[in-house]
Amino acid sequence: MPSYNLVRGADQFYAANEPPIGTPYPEDVYPQNAQLPVLFQPLMLRGTTFKNRIIVSPMCQYSSDHGSATDWHLVHIGGFATRGAGAICMEATAVVPEGRISPQDAGLWLDKQIAPLQRIVKFVHAHDTLIGVQLSHAGRKSSTIAPWMHSDSAKTRKAASWIHPKEEGGWPDGVYGPSDIAFSPEYPTPKPMDEDRMLYVEDEWIQAVERCKTVGYDFIEIHAAHGYLLHQYLSPLSNTRTDEFGGAPLENRMRWPLRLLARIRAAWDKPLFVRVSATDWAEGPERDADGTWRQWGPEQTKVFVGELQNIGIDLIDVSTGGLWVHQKIPVEPGYQVPFAEKIKKVYPNLSIGTVGLITDPLQAESYLRDGKADVVFLARELIRTPEWPLLAARKLGIAIKPANQHERGWAEMLTPRLDSTM
């Protein structure tokens, strides 16, 4: 095969794709691409071009070997790189071993965890796709049993508790959070973090960022949502400290997450995302009539996001929930989009991502076209349909590049047309 059809600089044989997979073909070849849907328009963040607005959301696989990625991750992530996603964010990756959700979680606290990730990143880059990672600390939700070990979907078995015991590799006595409030009676009771512990986590987070540079990631997302450590500091339901890092005042509860994020921003010069939960979905109002904050919600999220914009965060990934065990969520298609829309209205120049039961291409396109968000993050729909970006292009009436090896499956989409109808 002629060398010009190969990916230059790759460590093995890869066929070069021109244009890159998931990129619209030029209008002079495919007239139907004269007016591109927003979903397939590029996005520039801090000098990095995202080829389209479809991002693979972080998905915990609970399949790591003492924090190290395995071939499961190569296949799982590699499949998205060959099917048109604009970028991939790898799963929640713990910055310290005790920050894992379960013993099977991904980690980046040791140098030996770099090489398996580099292999994945090199494969993704060989297919012209951006890849990042979500750095996380589970806080009071750590040392738990992986979901399918706890119970199965068929409901034929269920563990008595979510706590992963010490004799089986857990660390229930080494769980930390802002306060000594357990997520539920079935979870470990955390030890309140003192200043030394907070500085230790900060320093380890920065070391993980340095390892991200060696791995070769294109962006980093910081997990401040879903009831994990940074969200625990933000919410008055989980942070009842009486020092400068907690309690009723919002500025106190934001203080440590913002200090950490400012350090990360200073250490990382590529795009930096933050995932937030815009509400705890607890009963009652976000704020009492006397001004006391009762739970985390949209109004505090807006203030927090304003501080993140001041720090220089490039994109806010807006999710909800995960902190309050009794949460009641009105789940329906696009149920989290209104929260992203509220933030976008307040900060129109800040890139916003939206998530949550986004399954239909027309639905996704409408959110972006109407200015409710700038990108969509997909997870479960991509598990069911890894080819979703290609199917979305076909449904929206345009032609994008499939992988060379897959072109024969997309003959209908790859037929030039003079009109934009299907």
For the chain, percent of residues with pLDDT exceeding 70: 98
Could you list the active site residues?
228
Task: Give the chain's mean pLDDT.
Answer: 95
pLDDT tens-digit series, residues 357-372? 999 999 999 999 999 9
pLDDT tens-digit series, residues 284-307? 999 999 999 999 999 999 999 999
- Is the pLDDT assigned to residue 52 strictly greater than 70? yes
CA dist 281 and 260 (Å) reads 26
Give a yes or no: residue 331 inside a domain: yes
Give a yes or no: residue 271 inside a domain: yes
- Is the pLDDT assigned to residue 179 strictly greater than 60? yes
pLDDT at position 144 = 97
What confidence category does residue 2 fall into, taking pLDDT thresholds of 50, 70 and 90?
very low
Residue 345 CA, distance from chain mean position: 22
User: At 92, which helix (H) or strand (E)?
Assistant: strand 87-94
- Is the pLDDT assigned to residue 419 strictly greater than 80? no
303: Cβ–Cβ under 8 A, 6 or more apart, which residues? 250, 254
Domain count, the chain: 1
Give a yes or no: residue 110 inside a domain: yes
Give me the domain span that covers residue 181. Answer: 51-378
| Selection from 197, 198, 266, 278 nearest residue 231 by Cα | 278
Give a yes or no: residue 41 inside a domain: no
- Is the pLDDT assigned to residue 398 strictly greater than 90? yes
pLDDT tens-digit series, residues 262-280? 999 999 999 999 999 999 9
Give a yes or no: residue 311 inside a domain: yes
pLDDT at position 110 = 98
Give a yes or no: residue 263 inside a domain: yes
What confidence category does residue 148 fall into, taking pLDDT thresholds of 50, 70 and 90?
confident
pLDDT at position 306 = 98
Rounded to 10 degrees, the C-alpha dihedral 280/265/380/283 comes to 0
Give a yes or no: residue 364 inside a domain: yes
- Cis geometry, peptide bond prior to residue 188 (ω within 30 degrees of 0): no
Give a yes or no: residue 101 inside a domain: yes
pLDDT at position 422 = 45
pLDDT tens-digit series, residues 67-96? 999 999 999 999 999 999 999 999 999 999
- Is the pLDDT assigned to residue 168 strictly greater than 80? yes
- CATH number for the domain including 219? 3.20.20.70
b/e map 304-331, b = 16+ CB within 10 Å: bbeebeebebbbbbbbbbbbbeebeeee
pTM (two decimals):
0.95
